[in-house]
Amino acid sequence: MSPARGRRRPARPLRSPARVIASAFAAAVAVGTALLSLPVATAGPGRADLLTALFHATSAVCVTGLVTVDTGTYWSGFGQTVLLLLIQAGGLGIATLATLLALLVSRRLGLRARLVAQVETKALTAADLRPVVRRVVVFVLSAETVVAVVLALRFALGYGEAVPAAVWSGVFHAVSAFNNAGFGLRADSLVGYVDDPVVSLTICLAVVVGGLGFPVVFELAREWRTPRSWSVLTRITVVWSGTLLLFGTVVFLAVEARNPGTLGPLGGGTKVLAAFVAAVMPRTAGFNNLDIAAYQPETLLLTDALMFIGGGSAGTAGGIKVTTFGVLAYVLWAELRGDPDVEVGRRRVPAANQRQALAVALLGLGLVAVGTFVVEALTDLGFDQVLFEVVSAFATVGLSTGVTAGLPPAAQVVLVVLMFVGRIGPLTLATGLALRERARRRRLPEERIIVG
């Protein structure tokens, strides 16, 4: 054998599924930027500058919702349609859409395509992908249709909007809500509907269902009557999602009840509704029903924490994921009790999952810290505002204290990077950037150290 034949070929740049996913999202952002840069994409004369187009394309593909211009007035019908399609593509996942297209065209699916889709949909095995992808797409489109119909009827009958405008508004908000994007066609987002339970709760339901994660939703549909048979993933997601929603609602009520800029002027029942909606939206939805700039510092900090945690795995939500937070909480509880294993229900959480949760959380904290430092250095804003903006971008939430449009271009570029990394996932991105995995054939002797 010649030396040339004996050498290993260098790994292809897109051989790793994680790299393929990152490249697919980058391509979608590039296409969206090009389309939003066209003169036809803006409602007024001229065209959007490159940074504005890039910022909004990234925010849409990464289902974030941060904006530097008003979506309903700055973008034309064409531009809004582009944003809607980018949100849908980002929510489903570029890899999932590509897998569906391959199934429809050739009825065949290569192993590499299966592995790519497996990373994006978090399917357990490659063999499960065909039914998983079909169910995900059918479920998403069905749920969005139901939400769109309810909202369109409410906008038309309750607010007197013309039917075409009500239908478009219903569809846009349904897709944006279910995909946890937070884009709205009104300058004040949901502030005008703060006392409307139909609009508020419908959007909240779409946000929660879309953010739970498709494996959890499908399992709940089958096993909702028998909680004891739930998997560890479903148990952690449901328990901690409910706990965080309840905790957030109670704290919002306690802190903001007398704040004249938020809950103060509202009646008793409306206060509870508004507090609940305000607690749901940091699960990476991005709609705001209250003036965030008027929040108390304690509420801003609570919202930062809820945004950073995010929603469920394999859903449309961002953040480090509630499963990551839940696993770390169980790890801490086991350590405090001196238990050798981390147990959830009647199952033991593998050490690999514990390390993965720790890695995701630490990478997330590191990115937020670096992003906050850089943006703080580029602006004269207060720390609370900068931290809120950075966490919102990284966790792909879209909530803002109203300072996004006024940030200097360099700071907006930082948010673009954070949105992209936050959507791909810190661990997925790190895996995609790694040149190769090394299989260790030996283990060194163990030595305990003093911790703390």
Cα-based distances in Å from 399 to 161, 287, 292: 26, 7, 8
CB count in 10 Å sphere of residue 441: 5
pLDDT digits over 200-225, tens only?
A: 999 999 999 988 887 888 889 888 88
- Kindly state the average pLDDT of the residues 293-314: 93
- Kindly state the average pLDDT of the residues 410-417: 96
Please state the pTM of the whole predicted model: 0.88
pLDDT at 127 over 70: no
DSSP-assigned letter for residue 44: S
Beta bridge pairs of residue 192: none
Beta bridge pairs of residue 347: 344
Phi/psi for 12 (5° steps) reads: -70, 145
Per-residue model confidence (pLDDT) at position 22: 81
- Kindly state the average pLDDT of the residues 146-154: 97
Kindly write down the DSSP assignment for every residue of 110-153, as one continuous string.
-HHHHHHHHHHHT-SSGGGHHHHHHHHHHHHHHHHHHHHHHHHH
pLDDT at 70 over 80: yes
Q: How confident is the model at residue 316 (pLDDT cuts 50, 70, 90)?
A: confident
> Which comes out higher in pLDDT, residue 374 or 137?
374
- Kindly state the average pLDDT of the residues 395-417: 95
Per-residue model confidence (pLDDT) at position 217: 87
pLDDT digits over 420-438, tens only?
A: 998 887 656 555 544 444 5
